[in-house]
Amino acid sequence: MGLLTFAINVTLDGCVDHQEGIVDDETHAFFTRLMDESGAMLWGRVTYEMMESYWPAVARGDEEAPPALREWAVKLETKPKYVVSSTRKDFPWINSHHIAGDLRMGVQKLKDATPAGVLLGSGKLATELDRLDLIDEYKFLVHPRIVGHGPTLYQSGLPATRRLELVSAKPLRCGAVAMHYRRAR
């Protein structure tokens, strides 16, 4: 069984707006490595649609992008992508699959079938999966910014505090810190 790892950019005040983080070669390399090490990506519908609206065009060469971003896009094309949605059923982006029905069973089945692990990149979905005790690890790229607006990490709350064990913390040149935590069981 593979691990479910929640990875996301977050500011010091908890903002997870994808436009608020520092974008440079080092932060990009952090997420590229996470994707390379995982067996599949898992997103909610909103994140999927945001990704679907840009990355396939970059992979095809229809959008201007630096070589590192084009490499990411090409890798993302081949990576299995799983989407949780109760409102959308059709996911035409290559290698995209719908998880329908019972959320716990669907995600557990995905974890069981993916020994290399599943990389979760959606904040709202992470809250739901954390409520179901399905997240095993957390990899946060904490940016040295206070933005004062949302969306924020776990803004709809959890039923109980999650105890985590620090696995590693690595500062990046830009001032962001890559934090790796494992769920304390």
Q: What is the per-residue pLDDT for 167?
A: 98
pTM metric for this prediction: 0.94
Contacts of 54 (CB under 8 A, 6+ apart): 63
- At residue 173, the 3 state secondary structure works out as coil
Bridge partners (DSSP) listed for residue 178 = 141, 170
Determine the Cα–Cα distance for residues 159 and 34; give it in Å rounded to an integer. Answer: 28
Determine the Cα–Cα distance for residues 167 and 100; give it in Å rounded to an integer. Answer: 33
Contacts of 23 (CB under 8 A, 6+ apart): none
Q: Give the angle subtended at the CA of 123 by the CAs of 101 and 170, to the nearest 5°.
A: 130
Q: What is the per-residue pLDDT for 120?
A: 98
Residue 169, H or E segment: strand 164-171
pLDDT in tens, 124-177: 999 999 999 999 999 999 999 999 998 999 988 998 899 999 999 999 999 999
